[in-house]
Amino acid sequence: MSIVRDGENRNDNGQYLSGGSKLKNDAKIADKFKDFKPNLSDRRNIILGMGLRGFEKLFSLKNKSILFLIGIVYLWTFAFYLLLGEDSYPCNTVSEELKTCTHLNFYGDLQYGGTRIFLVLIASVASSGLIANDLTDKSIHLYLSRPISRIDYLIARIIPIFLLMLTITLIPNLVVFISQFSKSGLNVDFLSSNMWTLSNLILQAIFYSISYSIIGITFSAAINRESLASAGFFGTVYGVSLIVEIFYGLMSEMDIENSEYILLLSIIHFLDIISYKIFNVDYFVTIFGSPEIIEFPLSIIIGLYVLLFSSFILLVNYIISRMEVTK
């Protein structure tokens, strides 16, 4: 197999490598793949092996910033949710039309006890190097040699961040559910009346985890520098949401028809809308201190989600396909 590259004897900055420098660079890549010994007859084990090794690296002591943020999420969960009264779980009626739920507030803003900013930070930091590093050191060519296809590679790169996100979406919510079950005196009636809560919080955690994972690898592939990919992820997701919310508030004040559709331009609001649909609760945003209920047709929301995240995957696949590999 021969690999066709631009600037084969250059480093990541485009500078030509001397013979000795090139050998060191090749040795660095070889060391990265010293444990990559796939069984050519079992693609599933290759994908799982790559994914689990990636998760192990993300969760290692070397990633102190990620572990620190995960610790904050768990402490935050304890402070705001494990001390909840039974009467406010799983949902609490704020007014005749407005209802909030514990497992929805978990993904909200800090002032409501939400961990959203930490979740986005963790996703942006943890996912930024998953594809970017492979593109930078050209090691992606080795991954894409037989029997690994581009789809196999994408799945293997999604697995680490997906599992990491589950540890901070699913586990804290399960802990809250179990603590409320314990407060009920382990009453079986609690389980029977809250089975929908349990199933919904699991579905919700999977939904947020896979969504942030796909967004993360998209930025990692599109901006093939780890630090810039992380900043791009966080800045785009959070920055756009703030801008969109401001514009929505101004448009609402001017009574512009269908102004609520601008919220669909924000990833945060878009995911929250679907999350509220999972719990069958009316979605609302607080504009200038006043909560406003907003309704979107379910068909439009699902259609846009499929279109948007399919586009992300196709974009990543296209970027990877540009890495020219010939046999």
**Residue 291: its pLDDT value, please?**
79
State which of 150-154, 213-217, 244-248 shows the largest mean pLDDT: 213-217
> What's the whole-model pTM score?
0.84
Residues 219-231 pLDDT 10s? 999 998 899 999 9
Distance CA 193, CA 195 (A): 6
155 exposed, middle or buried (CB, 10 Å; 0-12, 13-18, 19+)?
middle
Please, what is the average pLDDT of the chain? 84
> Could you give the CA distance from residue 14 to residue 94 in angstroms, rounded to a whole number?
59
Q: What's the confidence (pLDDT) of residue 302? A: 94
Residue 246, pLDDT above cutoff 60: yes
pLDDT, one tens digit per residue, over 124-163 is 999 999 999 988 888 888 887 767 888 999 999 999 999 9
CA–CA distance, 119 with 208 (Å, rounded to integer) = 10
Distance in angstroms (rounded) separating the CA atoms of residues 181 and 96 = 27
pLDDT reading at 5 higher than 80: no
